[in-house]
């Protein structure tokens, strides 16, 4: 079934499905686990609308391309156009929060990085952004102090809190809008905490956003 944005609460959400803008390194613990340098300016990349997949659809791992890593991330749904916005304007334009996986073909990404090439084929493939339904802004106590968790087959794999971001949610959305106009229906992924690792066929995933849990599975 084609992906559509929707609210967890069931209310209609009439927004087109747009692009996904992501930040490469926004949690210190994750930067350290991959032996990356702390960036001086945010590393941005995009996934097209074809990357989006509801969490109720099976996750399909690309075949023959090495390890496909999970990166659990807070997702932000943009409801109004933003260009050169400040953080307060960015905050007002957010109409929902969700939890997403920034699926990454890590072996391929490492090869591309070594060659100094762009990462798109490792990050922006079809279905590379499984995404939960959104909770309304008022329904999340404090988006900037929210637990993010990922359990796989019952084992805790990623555990973080959005207060550990180096660039806060709304500063990040504002910064993105100085490079790319954000349109209603676009999604921003805010970076992953430590604990990334490869997914396997048949894995059962539970993604936690504060006290809400979302189930997914790998085909």
Under the binding rule (CB under 5 A), the answer on residue 192 touching Zn ion is yes
162 is an interface residue for Zn ion by CB under 5 A: no
Kindly provide the residue ranges of all beta strands, DSSP E only, lying in 71-203, ordered along the sequence.
72-78, 94-101, 104-105, 129-131, 147-152, 155-161, 187-189, 197-198
Instruction: Provide, rounded to whole angstroms, the least separation between the CB of residue 78 and Zn ion.
Output: 18
**Segment interacting with Zn ion, rule: CB under 5 A, options 53-61, 158-166, 184-192, 204-212:** 184-192
What is the DSSP code string of 105-129?
Answer: EHHHHHHHHHHT---HHHHSSTT-E
Residue 71 is a binding residue for Zn ion (CB under 5 A): yes
How many angstroms separate the Cα of 134 from the Cα of each of 5, 12, 54, 199?
Answer: 8, 11, 11, 24
Stretch that binds Zn ion, among 54-62, 65-73, 112-120, 146-154 (CB under 5 A): 65-73
Bridge partners, 73 (sequence order): 100
Give the C-alpha separation, 203 to 217, whole Å: 6
Using the structure block, give the residue that is written with the tokens 């307060």: 88
Using alpha carbons only, what angle is made at residue 107 by residues 155 and 216, rounded to the nearest 5 degrees? 35
Tell me: does residue 91 bind Zn ion (CB under 5 A). no
- The answer to the question of residue 165 lying near Zn ion (CB under 5 A) is no
Minimum CB–partner distance for residue 23 and Zn ion (Å): 7
Binding residues with Zn ion: total (CB under 5 A): 3
13 or 101, CB closer to Zn ion?
101
CB of 68 to Zn ion, least distance (A): 13
CA 122 vs CA 58, 63, 64, 118, 217: distances in Å: 19, 12, 12, 9, 20
- Give me the least distance between CB of 35 and Zn ion, in Å please: 16
Q: Tokens 């400040």 appear where?
A: 86
Q: What are the tokens at 68?
A: 């496909």
Q: Which of 102, 103, 108, 133 binds Zn ion (CB under 5 A)?
A: 102
Q: How far is the CB of 156 from Zn ion (least distance, A)?
A: 19
Nearer to Zn ion (CB atom), residue 13 or residue 143: 143
User: With respect to Zn ion, which residue has the nearer C-beta, 71 or 186?
Assistant: 71
- The residues that touch Zn ion, with contacts defined as CB under 5 A, are 71, 102, 192
């Amino acid at each position: 079934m084609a992906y559509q944005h929707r609210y967890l609460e069931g209310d209609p959400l009439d927004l087109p499905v747009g692009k996904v803008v992501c930040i490469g390194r926004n949690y210190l613990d994750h930067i350290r686990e991959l032996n990356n340098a702390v960036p001086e300016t945010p590393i941005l990349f995009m996934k097209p609308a074809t990357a989006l997949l509801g969490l109720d659809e099976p996750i399909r791992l690309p075949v023959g391309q090495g390890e496909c890593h999970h990166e659990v991330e807070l997702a932000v749904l943009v409801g109004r156009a933003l260009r050169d916005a400040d953080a307060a304007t960015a905050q007002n334009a957010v109409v929902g929060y969700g939890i997403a996986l920034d699926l990454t073909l890590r072996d391929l990404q490492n090869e591309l990085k070594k060659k100094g090439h762009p990462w798109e084929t490792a990050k922006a493939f079809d279905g590379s952004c499984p995404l939960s339904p959104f909770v309304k802004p008022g329904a999340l106590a404090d988006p900037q102090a929210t637990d993010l968790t990922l359990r796989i087959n019952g084992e805790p794999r990623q555990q973080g809190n959005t207060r550990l971001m180096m660039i806060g949610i709304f500063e990040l959305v504002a910064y993105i809008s100085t490079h790319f106009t954000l349109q209603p229906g676009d999604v921003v992924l805010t970076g992953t905490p430590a604990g990334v690792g490869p997914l396997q066929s048949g894995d059962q995933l539970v993604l936690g956003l504060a006290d809400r849990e979302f189930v997914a599975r790998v085909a």
